[in-house]
Amino acid sequence: MAKKKEADFFELMKAEAQYSSELTARFKDLFDNFEKGINAEELQVKLDEIHAIEHKGDEAHAEIVTELNRAFITPIDREDIFTVAANIDKTTNAVENVAFRLWMFDIKELRPDIHEFTDLIVKCIEKTIEIIAEFKNFKKSKTLNSTIRLVYEYENDGDRIYRNAVRNLFATEKDPIETQKWREFYHDMEKCFDACSELAGSVERAAVKNS
């Protein structure tokens, strides 16, 4: 009986991250088209597409967990693989959650500062994809550390946008329901930056630990 080929965990993590990238592209398209005007049926179709990608990401994550349980030897500490993979999943879920808030909160019109959020979320996710793609080269990479630092900078930028947005919300919105709705919306967007930072940090710690 042929011996089962050992799993390439760096490639598996890269595959999982690609679903995060694909979902984020749909996320950006959703918000761009939302401002142009889409009906409830069109919104549901786009959300269903986003959820289908998230589900594929879950399957990719489950494959990593399964292979970890089977593997006798792993290229780096198995706990680090598990943590990084879990954080990839967390970033995907965070972006999906924001998209579904449009439907859950019955949003009819976007506030002016939303695109500053969405543009930065897309940039942040793109950099996490670069980090995962470069992860396998962590011992000799010339770009991994600088890309991780850039994600940290994006998180700081996201915190600044979040604080300004919430302050402006309370200064201008008189409807208490709208205030609560958008406060939660902004908070969920800010969680995307936190998730990206956690992912970058887990790769950084794994690289240091396994060098």
Condensed to tens digits (0 to 9), the pLDDT of residues 10-50 reads: 999 999 999 999 999 999 999 998 877 888 899 999 999 99
The Cα–Cα gap between 102 and 117 comes to 14
Read off φ and ψ for residue 44, nearest 5 degrees: -65, -40
pLDDT digits (tens, 9 = 90+) for 96-124: 999 999 999 999 899 999 999 999 999 99
With 0-12 CB in 10 A as exposed, 13-18 as middle and 19+ as buried, what is 142? Answer: exposed
User: Is the confidence at residue 204, as pLDDT, over 70?
Assistant: yes
Residue 188: is its pLDDT beyond 80?
yes
**Spatial contact of 201 and 135, defined as CB atoms under 8 Å apart:** no
Helix, strand, coil abundance in the chain, percent, nearest 5? 80, 0, 20
Residue 71 has pLDDT above 50, yes or no: yes
Rounded CA-CA distance 92/108 in Å is 24
